[in-house]
Amino acid sequence: MQSPWKILMVAPLFLLLSLQSSASPAYDDSSRPRDSNGHTCVGCVLVVSVIEQLAQVHNSTVQASMERLCSYLPEKLFLKTTCYLVIDKFGSDIIKLLSADMNADVVCHTLEFCKQNTGQPLCHLYPLPKETWKFTLKKARQIVKKSPILKYSRSGSDICSLPVLAKICQKIKLAIEQSVPFKDVDSDKYSVFPTLRGYHWRGRDCNDSDESVYPGRRPDNWDVHQDSNCNGIWGIDPKDGIPYEKKFCEGSQPRGIILLGDSAGAHFHISPEWITASQMSLNSFINLPTALTDELDWPQLSGVTGFLDSTVGIKKKSIYLRLWKRNHCNHRDYQNISRNGASSRNLKKFIESLSRNKTLDYPAIILYAMIGNDVCNGKSDPVPAMTTPEKLYSNVMQTLKHLNSHLPDGSHVILYGLPDGTFLWDNLHNRYHPLGQLNKDVTYAHLYSFLNCLQVSPCHGWMSSNKTLRTLTSERAEQLSNTLKKIATSEKFTNFDLFYMDFAFHEIIQEWQKRGGQPWQLIEPVDGFHPNERKSVFLKGMLMTSQTLDNQEWTQLTSWIKGNLTCDSRTREWLCCCLRIVSGRRCSSSGPKSWERRIHSTPRLNRCLETKAGTEPLRSMHPWGAQGGRGLGKLMPQTLGLLRHRPKGVSFSSIFAKCLSLNEEHIWMTVQLCLLLGSVTLPLFLK
């Protein structure tokens, strides 16, 4: 007969794989301990805590609270069935222990989901019992000493050791490790299935039986017969015989967006509703199956490649949606090559999943955003496991050489710096974690200590009460950022331009506080580490209107402007006028009286730009952005609702107007930003 423990572990296959993939080691996988007792312990304490708090919230028995929890879970992935199996196998013991006023730590140690190895400290989330731990544990074991479940070992319970699941396990693990779709009939690295590395992670395939059809490629014969690049534009206009792809997209310079990132880029997220008893309902777990099959990541909502509207009520859009809004020919051209636990060290293991052909595909914008795991790990002594500047230089150069051999000419790569994570402890340590809000007994300091003790913390260096360790971690992060900056300013590549941008964390906080928010609201509440959706979208919004380029990059961009634009005194005067416009001031103190009013609408803004703040006559009869508006090209047929952008000979004012209208809610009020916005946007999106 199969062990009940192994039977129990069959159903939540995706949960186990997600937990394994959500670990965030900064060191090579070969050095990771195989014992997953730490994650098992965390899972047990979490579940028992929820059961206990559900009984408290609803004034019910422990048995009723367990059944209530199972009733909330969906049928998909056998989650509900598995829950009832847990009750059947462990419920009686949990009831006995909780009824004896044992907390979740004691319950999980008694049932041997948590273990204190010889010579190791005792790991606990909740305050220790008033009686000694040894006495309390002995008392708890006496309560369940006759339990048959205790004779089944928790070790060797890897679900993938079951023959019936070995093959499916291997295929799913391979998809996760290599970051390629689980379901991909034509092996072109694009899928019609949303999760398991499908179109939540990269553009949806529109023909999964033809490997030559995928998002981001240049059209095959202007897509006369089929939609070869999956942007929804194909066929011939019967009125003039011109292919729609040629009519709408020629000269628009489509650009794909590709993210090479870690769990932050993948948008790792555990919903607070899943562990907060007072908020739990039938609707709480609707998205759990999707989350599990996406490794507890939500790339469809990320700040770079997200294609769904924000779930937190903010109007910021991802970089992909901004590119799509500006040019619908970019439809579906996104790739989120991010992975939980990714760093410069292990990127080489899955960068091959990036799909770009030098000759067949459009150029792309690549964001290299390994922002944490080169300094973050869960080891008891995390500093020796951090990436050194020398090793980072070697790793990044290897990545850039790979990109140079695969990216089409005209692409752009942006290296993203590391943040200063001391923010985490400073703003969260004395706040209550969702598990501790009901009884005011668990703070983030308790959570951090618990995870560090088990050596499963996503970042021991920053999630620590040790100020010296936090400072050392930030110093190493700064060293690595300086290394990335050095690479961006000194290395040249044939197929792409290279930029560097700081992680502008303090600017994000300031922007959020201006909106009435608190800094701690920018962090995921459950893990207390990852940036949440608000911060992610704010961060990528700032990338589009960034002021963080260093002096050398600024010089390079200024040189680019001078080589492509007439930067005379009149242009500079006009740029200063832009500052007045976006600041809501008068368009021009010397312009016609009809212009002496505040600029509130985009048409007025665009019209003001066209006339250079009223110093030149209006060149068209239509406001900017209307049909026939100069510089934005002809409107596509209203059935498609697409704009053909940047026809040849476009004027500087039209480019700048489009940049402003694209990012108007994100513009920061400085003359330097006026210049930077035009200069950064031009080479990245309009070159």
**Candidates 3.40.50.1110, 3.40.50.720, 3.30.470.20, 1.10.10.60; correct CATH number of 254-282+290-419+468-554?**
3.40.50.1110
Is 13's pLDDT higher than 90? no
**pLDDT band for position 441 (cuts 50, 70, 90):** very high
Is 403's pLDDT higher than 90? yes
4: tokens are 């009940």
> What pLDDT, on the 0 to 100 scale, is given for residue 26?
39
The distance from CA 161 to its chain's CA centroid, rounded to whole angstroms, is 32
Q: Of 263, 318, 344, 457, which one is the catalytic site residue?
A: 263
3-state secondary structure 384-424: HHCCCHHHHHHHHHHHHHHHHHHCCCCEEEEEECCCCCHHH
> What pLDDT, on the 0 to 100 scale, is given for residue 508?
80
Mean pLDDT within 553-573 = 42
Output the average pLDDT for the chain.
78
pLDDT, one tens digit per residue, over 470-491 is: 999 999 999 999 999 999 999 9
**pLDDT band for position 640 (cuts 50, 70, 90):** very low
For residues 210 and 36, the model is more confident at: 210
pLDDT, one tens digit per residue, over 347-363 is: 999 999 999 999 999 99
Is 443's pLDDT higher than 70? yes
How many degrees, rounded to 5, is the angle at CA 629 between CA 625 and CA 632? 70
Mean pLDDT within 389-413 = 97
**pLDDT band for position 35 (cuts 50, 70, 90):** very low
Is 533's pLDDT higher than 50? yes
Structural domain spans, the chain: 35-161, 254-282+290-419+468-554
Q: Is residue 263 annotated as a catalytic residue, yes or no?
A: yes
Nearest to 529 by CA among 641, 636, 433: 433
672: left (phi over 0), alpha (psi -120 to 50) or beta: alpha
d(CA 447, CA 438): 15
Nearest to 453 by CA among 3, 176, 38, 79: 38
Is 145's pLDDT higher than 60? yes
**pLDDT band for position 564 (cuts 50, 70, 90):** very low
What DSSP state is assigned to residue 127? P
Q: Do 676 and 549 touch, CB atoms closer than 8 A?
A: yes
Across 6-10, 71-75, 178-182, which has the greatest mean pLDDT?
Answer: 71-75
For residues 562 and 441, the model is more confident at: 441
Alpha-carbon separation of residue 271 from 267, 465, 521 (angstroms): 12, 26, 14
**pLDDT band for position 618 (cuts 50, 70, 90):** low
Across 343-357, 500-514, 559-573, which has the greatest mean pLDDT?
Answer: 343-357
Mean pLDDT within 283-294 = 94
Is 650's pLDDT higher than 80? no
Q: How many angstroms separate the first and last alpha carbons of the chain?
A: 67
In the chain, the percentage of residues whose pLDDT exceeds 90 is 58
Is 654's pLDDT higher than 70? no
Alpha-carbon separation of residue 55 from 59, 66, 270, 445 (angstroms): 5, 8, 22, 26
**pLDDT band for position 504 (cuts 50, 70, 90):** confident
In DSSP terms, 598 is beta-bridged to 586
Is 183's pLDDT higher than 70? yes
Q: Do 258 and 335 touch, CB atoms closer than 8 A?
A: yes
Query: What is the dihedral sign for C-alpha 324, 330, 333, 336?
Result: negative
Is 138's pLDDT higher than 90? yes
Is 252's pLDDT higher than 80? yes
Is 607's pLDDT higher than 90? no
Q: Do 515 and 450 touch, CB atoms closer than 8 A?
A: no
> What pLDDT, on the 0 to 100 scale, is given for residue 569?
45
